[in-house]
Amino acid sequence: MSIDKPSATVSKDTAEPVENPEAARGADVAVDPRLLIRERGLAGYVGEFKRKIKAGELGSIPVVLGLIIICIVFQSLNSNFLSAQNLSDISVTMVGTGMISVGIVFVLLLGEIDLSVGSVSGAASAIAAVLAVNQGWPEWAAVLFAVAAGAAIGALHGFFFAVLGAPAFAVTLAGLLFWLGFMLKVLGENGTINLDSDGLIGKLTTYFFADVAAAYGLAVVVVALFFLSSFLGNRRREAAGVPSRPLSDTLLRTALLAVVSFAAAAMYNQYKGLPLATVIFLAFLVGSDFLLRRTAYGRKIFALGGSVEASRRAGINVTTVRITVFAIAGGFSAIGGLFLASKIASANQSAGTGDLLMNAIAAAVIGGTSLFGGRGRTWNALLGVLVIVSIQYGLQLESIAEPVKYMITAAVLLTTVVIDSITRKTQKTAGRA
C-alpha cells in the first residue's frame, strides 16, 4: 500500500523544493497593497482615502479644512481679510510663536511637555538686548549668545528630567517661574530696553525683499527642490526594490505646490515684497523636518515617543536624546523670542508672558502633533500657528473683544485634542496604533 505524499514544487529563487505549491504560488503573486491601489487609478486612491478616514488616519486634513473655513468666514465678514497686506502681516506675525511651536513639536514627539518656552524666549530676548545695547556687543554676537543660552537652558531642563528623573511638567514649570524672574532681573528697574529698528534684530520682522524676482525666485526654488527630492527619492526606492510613488503622483504634488507657492509670491509682491521673517521660518521648517524624517536621530525621537522601554532595548541612548530634544526646544524658544522682540523693537517685562505659552503649545497640537507622543511633523507648527493668528487677525478686523478671542482659541484647541483622542481610539480599533 503506497502512501501519497504531497507534491513539491521548486522556487525560482532558491531552487529548493517547496512542500506546499498552493502557498508558493500565492507568495509568487503577492504584491505591495500600495501598488494595487495605484494600478486601479483614481478609484484606487479614493478607496484608500476612505480606508484611511475609517482607520483614523486623518493627517492634516482637519486643520487644512479649518483654515479654509476660517478664510471663507472672515472674508465674508470683512473683504480686507484676504488682502495682500493682511495676509503678509499674518505671515510675519506668526513667525515668533511659530518658532517656539517648532521646539514644542520636538518635545511633544517624546510624549512630554515644556512649560518654560515662553519664559525662555523672554529671557533670551532680554539677554540679547542687554548685550547689544547696554554692553555694546555686535548684534550678531548677541543673537548667537542668546540662542546658545536658550539651548543651554533647555539642556539643563533635560538634565533634571532625563538624568535625575524629575517629571518634565514640574521641571519646566519651575523653569517658567525662574526664567521669568531672571528676565525681570536682567532688564533692571526700567524694565524696557529699546532696540535699534535698523539693526539685525529689528530687521528680522521689518525687512522685505522688494524686488518681485525674490518672491517668484523663492517659489521656483521651493518647487524645484520638492520635485528633485521626490523624484530622486523614488528612484532610490525603485533601485532598492521598495514600492514608490509613480511619476504622475510626483508631478501632481509638484503642480499643487507650485500653485500655492506662486500664489503666495504674487500676494507678497502686491504689498511690500517677500518678508525676511517668512524666509527664515521656512528655512528652519525645512531643516527641522529633514532632521526628524531623514536622520537616525529623528527616528530615535519618534521611537521614544512610541515606547521608551522598547527604544532602550533597541540600544537607543534615551538620556542623550531627551536632553538634546529639550535643548532644541530651548534654542527655538530663544529664536522665537528674538522675532517677538523685533516685532515691538524692544525687550520688556511682558516678553514671554500672556498667552504666548498657550498659543505655542496650541499651535503644535492644532497643527496635528499628538499629545501622546510619536506622531507629528514640524510643519504642524506652521499649520497650527496659521490657524491661531488667522483667527486673531479676523477677530481684530471685526473689533471683537479680547475675552472672545481667548474663548474661540480655546474651543479650537479643545476640538483638536478631542479629534486626536478619537483618532487614537479609531486606530486602535483598526489595529494600527
What is the pLDDT, as a whole number, of residue 279?
Answer: 95
- Top-confidence residue, 286 or 352: 286
Contact 412, 391 (CB under 8 A): yes
Position 116 confidence tier, pLDDT thresholds 50, 70, 90: very high
Measured between alpha carbons, how far is 362 from 66 in angstroms, rounded to an integer?
Answer: 14
Instruction: Count the Cβ atoms, other than its own, within 10 Å of residue 421.
Output: 13
pLDDT at 158 over 50: yes
182-186, 241-245, 306-310: segment of lowest average pLDDT? 241-245
335-339, 361-365, 377-381, 426-430: segment of lowest average pLDDT? 426-430
Measured between alpha carbons, how far is 199 from 108 in angstroms, rounded to an integer?
Answer: 35
Position 3 confidence tier, pLDDT thresholds 50, 70, 90: very low
pLDDT at 208 over 90: yes
pLDDT at 21 over 90: no
What is the pLDDT, as a whole number, of residue 242?
Answer: 74
42-46, 149-153, 415-419: segment of lowest average pLDDT? 42-46
pLDDT at 2 over 80: no
- Top-confidence residue, 55 or 384: 384
* Highest mean pLDDT out of 228-242, 290-304, 321-335: 321-335
What is the pLDDT, as a whole number, of residue 291?
Answer: 93
pLDDT digits (tens, 9 = 90+) for 164-186: 999 999 999 999 999 999 999 99
pLDDT at 32 over 60: no
Position 430 confidence tier, pLDDT thresholds 50, 70, 90: low
Contact 186, 130 (CB under 8 A): yes
Measured between alpha carbons, how far is 124 from 29 in angstroms, rounded to an integer?
Answer: 60
What is the pLDDT, as a whole number, of residue 61?
Answer: 74
pLDDT at 373 over 50: yes
What is the pLDDT, as a whole number, of residue 432?
Answer: 53
- 312-321 burial string, b = 16+ CB within 10 Å, else e? eeeebebeeb
